[in-house]
Amino acid sequence: MTKSLYVVSTAPHAGKSAICLALALALRDEGIAVGYMKPLGASLMRRDDGYVDEDAYVAWNALGITEPWEYASPVLLTDDVRSAPLAGPVEGLATKITQALARLSEGRDVVIMEGLGRTFDGQALGLSAPEVADLTGAAVLAVIGYRPDLDLDSILFARQVFGDRLIGIVIDGAPPRLVETATAKLASFLARHNLACCGVVASDPVLRSITVRELAEELGGEVLCAEDQLDELVETYMLGAMTGDAAYLFFQRKANKAVITGGDRSDVIMAALRTSTRCLILTGNLRPEVQVLSAAAEQGVPVILVTDDTLTTTERVERAISHVRLSSPKQIARLRETRPEYQRVLQMVKEELDL
């Protein structure tokens, strides 16, 4: 009988997608037949034949799943679907999920399902995370984003709403130096509440990065040079608003960054090019001087020209980086690397699901 695992979180951007895909890839590499489904799709992207959830799209491509896309995320939360409960009870959505799970279970040992950002998302449709878990009979793994206080309330909330379906907790995104400390601190607390801690996972800048291409698309910018470097990963950003000498010392603080500045700030741009910079984002539709553009092209640093002002651009870049989704081959490769934290989660899942 095919097993199902529902990976949920109590808050958005906790790291569910990375955990789902890391588990699926590791299980597949061990010869276990794995499927993936996101019962409710919220982040929609357009394909030629309709819409699909972005997380489901990435996962299916990484896992080589070839079933019709309608099974990847059977309930798509379009505006019409979200507002449908205003007119009365919505029928048929639960059936879509169970039919998709049945299809994806054929010939597979386990189907990993990914939840939405919050536990109660989908409740107006009768499809909150606890309701979907009951509907599908899935074991539940709760991913809690790391906080210095370890977010004990969210851990206990997950225990309350999922009951015996909850097989463990994963704390994701801890500073690497604090992984063992956090694990030790949690041990007695979880034991008192009869909960298994599957692992405290260290934050990984590669998995929290966005490609230059995605950043350019998000900003609606024009790429002026180095288009062959658009698949490089941007881990963070810095704002260039100082003089050239001060800018160079400032930019040395962070690697693999995007630098945001005006196109007329040649001194700042040249300082950024002397440090680890993945791309330059020039605001206000101000094109740089020819020699500056030539220097960026020679070093293989894409220059993205945007029409927004610096403040607006900075806000959009921050939002894009904080809401990053797995998409790059480098990120998929990183998930396949052997990491002790993932191994602990993997072993617990295999034991609990008898895989």
- The pairing of strands 40-41 and 197-202 is unpaired
**Which residue carries 């919505």 as its tokens?**
90
CA-closest candidate to residue 351, choices 198, 201, 200, 202: 198
Q: For residue 197, what pLDDT is reported? A: 75
Closest CA relative to residue 204, chosen from 77, 40, 330: 330
pLDDT of residue 142: 96
110 pLDDT higher than 90: yes
291 Cβ contact partners less than 8 Å away, ≥ 6 residues apart: none
Pair 286, 264: CB distance under 8 Å: yes
- Give the pLDDT of residue 338: 62
To the nearest 10 degrees (0 to 180), the angle between helices 310-322 and 212-219 is 130
- Of residues 330 and 219, the one with the higher pLDDT is 219
Domains of the chain: 3-207+325-353 (3.40.50.300), 210-322 (3.40.1390.20)
- Residue 244 predicted with pLDDT over 80: no
When pLDDT is averaged across residues 22-26 and rounded to a whole number, the result is: 93
- Least Cα distance to 239 among 229, 251, 228 occurs for 251
Whole-number Å distance between alpha carbons of 328 and 321? 14
Count of residues for the chain?
Answer: 355
DSSP, collapsed to helix, strand or coil, labels residue 151 as coil
pTM metric for this prediction:
0.83
Is the pLDDT reported for residue 15 higher than 80? Answer: yes
Check if the beta carbon of residue 279 is closer than 8 Å to that of residue 234: yes
